[in-house]
Structure 1
Amino acid sequence: MDTLHAMRVFVRTLELGSLSAAAREFGTTQPTVSKWLAQLERQLRVRLFERSTRGLSPTEQGQRFHADARRVIEQFDAAVGAVQGMTGQAAGLLRINAPVALGQFRINAMVQQFMANHPAIDVELILNDRFVDLVEEAVDVAFRLGGTLPPDAIGRHLATVPRFLVAAPTYLARRGVPVVPDALSAHDFVRFAWTPGNTVDLFRGDEQARLSVSSRFRVNNALAIRDALVLGSGIGVCPDWLVRDLLDSGELVRVLDGWSARAQDLYLLYPSRQFQPLRTRLFIGFAVAQFGGLAGFERGQG
């Protein structure tokens, strides 16, 4: 029996909470996962899970073994990474998580270049807008835009993202161009569905304006907001990177130039500073270098 592999299966089964989820992650069947776990229990001579019709629950010994097994796996991966680093080689699967729009507009192309530089590294890019648990979902690195980070978050600040008001020239020709912030109240405002309240904060130097806006259209996807604005649905606050090409082409223009919304921070998070495989360390360094000169982003704090 491959004990290290069985330990990996055990750790992920406990973290995912089911045999079927672990089977999907390892690309195998539920009976095979069950067999690996049974072989590991026989080797250890302890029961790691209690099995019932309701599913699996770890025993006291299983909970204790999980922490030790995870540490052994991380140390093994670190040792492999160190050896690979001596030859400049890196291999294995790298799982990356990013918000949907950022992933499509920036991270996807970045990953393709990274893979071209490292032919032995496979990448699984998971795009969603929820805050994933890196440990439970076996994510190696995650890009996070704005929001409050968990107190135990580990990572680095990559960039600051300017945000400002934009609209289509066709909309402004139809509804007029606002020249002062208070004029926004007479316009249609396109916004994220999950944004609380009906106000927008704008800043110009030391000046600040909190304005009431009316939103006939709200949507929970940045790409849909981008499309709606191009179609002339109203005025919206967008990050620079999301609309930079449309501003350059003239399909969108800035509104109330000089006023900006609160900037967003972009972070790169990872489960641990210790025992990072070489592929993870390489990607972190690559991402930091890429965002240092990427249009729509201002260099991070380090």
Structure 2
Amino acid sequence: MDKLKAMQTFVQIADAGSLSAAARAQGGSLPAVVRTLALYEAHLGVRLFNRSTRRISLTPDGRQHLASCRQLLGAVAEAEAALREGATQPTGTLTVTAPVLFGQLHVAPAVTRFVQQHPQLQCRVVLLDRVVNLLEEGFDMGLRIGHLDDSSLVARALGEVRRPVVASPAYLARVGQPQHPRDLQQANCIHRIDGRNAWGPFQEHGRLFDVEVSGQLAFNHNAPAVAACVLGGGFGQFFSYQVAAELQRGELVEVLQDFQGPPTPVQVVYPHARLLPVRARLFIDWMRQELAGFAPEAAPQA
């Protein structure tokens, strides 16, 4: 059995949505497609599709294998293209995900400059404020802020960010400066709608701790929360890049600096044990250069 052809047939069936449509796309016969799929499923020992008289759909094993096949077939195509084009010119499509605000401020400009350097390459950038399953959702790699919990991914460090607590000068003049993170428990805190209202980590005498907060305002995105903080709506805790401009302009002031916890890593992540195509390797190197030295910004003093 030609495994590469079987993978191509499997992907074509999934993309086309039916066996007959895949046969037409191949310019072959329906019996040949059915036979190839049957042999491939027998070889793998799993069912890739649920089939009925009216429709065909991927099984859970099929969805997982589809992402792997796309990666492998993409790497094969890239390897062939590299031989033809001198092994350094990336081609094809690179699909990347990143958090919304970080993506807007830092990733999108860097990707724009990247494709300008490589005119035969296409990049799709999807900005989402949630943890994306790269394999299941068809992403080549993701930019993430935080520690990596998924052992199926490889992480490359790009930099780090802080998580300062901030407020507007007018709000601080009205309510006063908090002296300890525990003071936030009785304060008006602008927080995220994510089911967890704990801020931190803070650090005291080498011990890390969080504090539970509450307040009148909660948002599902950071940009309006920052704007509310600037307007004097209360205290907020954000990643340092999210409030860097406001701190620089003096619209926000950082508090509780003495209790600042350890920085949070910024990483590019991709599926483990994958043969990375040229475009992916070049993109990782590019982002490491673009975000080199991306570190906690120095906050203006109150």
**TM-score of the pair, normalised by structure 1:** 0.77
CA apart distance, 1:108: 0.9
Q: Deviations over 1:251-288 (max 9, x none)?
A: 11101222214532222111244322211111011111
- Residue 17 of structure 2 is aligned to residue 19 of structure 1: yes
Residues 17-96 of structure 1 mapped to structure 2, 5 A cutoff: 19=17, 35-36=24-25, 39=28, 42-44=31-33, 46=35, 48=37, 49-52=49-52, 55-57=55-57, 73-80=73-80, 82-83=82-83, 86=86, 88-96=88-96
CA apart distance, 1:95: 0.6
Aligned partners of 2:208 and 2:261 also within 8 Å: no
Equivalent position SS for 1:149? coil
Structure 1 equivalent of residue 135 of structure 2: 135
How high is the sequence identity, in percent, across the aligned residues? 30
Q: Distance in 2 between matches of 1:37 and 1:75?
A: 21
Q: Residues 219 and 43 (structure 1 numbering): CA distance in 2 closer, same or farther, change over 3 Å?
A: same
- Residue 118 of structure 2 is aligned to residue 118 of structure 1: yes
**Larger deviation, residues 203-212 vs 99-108:** 203-212
Equivalent position SS for 1:178? coil
Equivalent position SS for 2:137? coil
Structure 2 equivalent of residue 24 of structure 1: none
Q: Residues 7 and 36 (structure 1 numbering): CA distance in 2 closer, same or farther, change over 3 Å?
A: farther
Q: Deviations over 1:163-221 (max 9, x none)?
A: 11111112212222223333323321112221525564412562555434322222221
Structure 2 equivalent of residue 164 of structure 1: 164
Q: Residues 10 and 166 (structure 1 numbering): CA distance in 2 closer, same or farther, change over 3 Å?
A: same
**TM-score of the pair, normalised by structure 2:** 0.77
Residues 1-302 of structure 1 mapped to structure 2, 5 A cutoff: 8=8, 10-11=10-11, 14=14, 19=17, 35-36=24-25, 39=28, 42-44=31-33, 46=35, 48=37, 49-52=49-52, 55-57=55-57, 73-80=73-80, 82-83=82-83, 86=86, 88-146=88-146, 148-194=148-194, 196-198=196-198, 200-204=200-204, 206=206, 208=208, 210-294=210-294, 296=296
| 2:102 partner letter | L
Q: Residues 90 and 174 (structure 1 numbering): CA distance in 2 closer, same or farther, change over 3 Å?
A: same
Can you give the 5+ residue segments of structure 1 that lack an aligned partner in the other structure? Answer: 21-29
